[in-house]
Amino acid sequence: MSNDKHTDENRAVASRRPLEFYGGPISSAVPMIFFIGWAIYLCVIAEAAANIGLVLGAVLGLALGMFLVKSSWSDYAQEIFNGMSDPVGVVAIVAWFWAGMFAEVLQAGGLVDGLVWVGAQTGFSGGLFVGATFLLAAVFATAVGTGYGTTVAFCTLMYPAGILLGADPVILFAAVLSGAAFGDNLAPVSDTTIVSATTQNTDVPGVVRSRVKYALMAATPSLVLFSIFGGGGEMADATQASAVLAAGTDPRGLVLLIPFILVITLALRGNHLLTSLSWGIVVATVLIGALGLAPLSDLLYVNTETESLAGALVEGINGYVHLAVLILLIVAAGHIMKAGGAMQAAVGGLLKQAGRSVARAEVSSWLIVFVLNVFITVNTAAEIAAAPFVRKIGEAFNIHPYRRANLLDATTSALGYIFPWSAAVLLGYQTLRNLQAEYTFIEAIEPTQVWPWVFHGWFLAGIMFLAAVTGFGRIYEGPDGEVLRHPPDEGASD
């Protein structure tokens, strides 16, 4: 993104008459503040972190703003629509729909069954099985882009076998969460990856290439620690463990790594994400039909009972409908902050604290992301709320969009799988509780037990904090959007 485009954007905003609020510009932040408070209540206190509940909070927050605006309600309402029409939200939504379809097609075709088969063939037990689980979960999450789906799939298929093979129950659960976090951060089709790129006005392939080093730096020690500390459970009958694994394995599912690799290759070669995903969906569908991995009706069929379409393609879109509405509403709340002056005041205060230090500016961005993820436990929602602040602070120091996106997404993906009240941890906990009815040897793992052992999450969040402090991997944006190793005007200090 060039500085000229940033200037044009600023002029466009300035040309519109700003909204005036009772209480001054700070009141324009009320819709966003209300949403954050509502999200904290739902996620932490009520433990009801469904996306539709968050949507309601965003709607109520925007409605509340009407009673605080001095300007006409018509002007306020128009600014809501101006915000919702921002390409940031629209691009993310369209990309999510394509990515969701691709993920559901791979899952319907049995990719996870193929990866579980690999785990069964290793013959590992104890800590080595835990390490292998982390790797396989990371591969699956990177392929399908859904950390939550990875958590459910690997808790269901790998966890019972791991317990029988002497894995430590708590650390095995942590390994699944860590693998999910790895893929959520790195996958080009992940919702958090797409949000981090679009909200910083940059491309997904470039963001993915720039964050590989951080992901691998966190994954390497995590793999070692999972392998060392993952044993210690009581070794059961290996035959029973093999039977558990065999029930959920099919090596043919590994062929679906082909469309996954195709999507990655096309995207990293500069093809548009939608083009890459479309080819991935087509190739995956052909492979599923040709090899009989699943009935093609699993991908799309008419449900005569409900008189509606169903199948993987439908579920891929349906899974993002509420999130799509949520991003439009949160982007609108951020736009109201800009139209009323609260965004400028908040960012101005942060920039004043940062002074001329790029490091302090990046640490401020990291802290904003950290705090919002502590309380808003649906990590994509937290990322969307933090995105405008990260963008404005970064633009003030000419920090490249890739760098801003990495600070935003790596921290979000890491923390979203750590805290006991986070949606991913609670989802995994509930999955394990459900398994107790099927496997008598599984004991309940409380969410409060697992958080210290999610090694990849802690390493990734820590690496991004140290990167902000030390400047490791820091890049800047040149006049034409090019990547620079030093500030274009050398006016800021590290």
Residues 6+ away with beta carbon under 8 Å from 264: 188
Instruction: Report which of residues 3 and 230 the model is more confident about.
Output: 230
For residue 13, is pLDDT > 80?
no
- The pLDDT confidence band at residue 15, using thresholds 50, 70 and 90, is very low
Q: What is the DSSP string of 51-98?
A: HHHHHHHHHHHHHHHHTTBSS-HHHHHHHHHHHHT-HHHHHHHHHHHH
Alpha carbons 104 and 144: distance in angstroms, whole number: 8
Residue 215 has what pLDDT? 95
Concatenated DSSP letters of 316-364: HHHTTHHHHHHHHHHHHHHHHHHHHTHHHHHHHHHHHHHTTBHHHHHHH
How does pLDDT run across 292-306, given as a tens digit for each residue?
999 999 998 888 888
- pLDDT at position 483 is 87
Residues forming a β-bridge with 309: 302
CA distance 178 to 171: 10
Rg value, the chain, Cα: 23
Average pLDDT estimate for 426-438: 83
The pLDDT of residue 60: 95
pLDDT category at 409 given cuts 50, 70, 90 is very high
> What's the confidence (pLDDT) of residue 49?
64
pLDDT > 90: what percent of the chain? 38
Residue 259 has pLDDT above 90, yes or no: yes
Closest to 382 measured CA to CA, from 429, 434, 418: 418
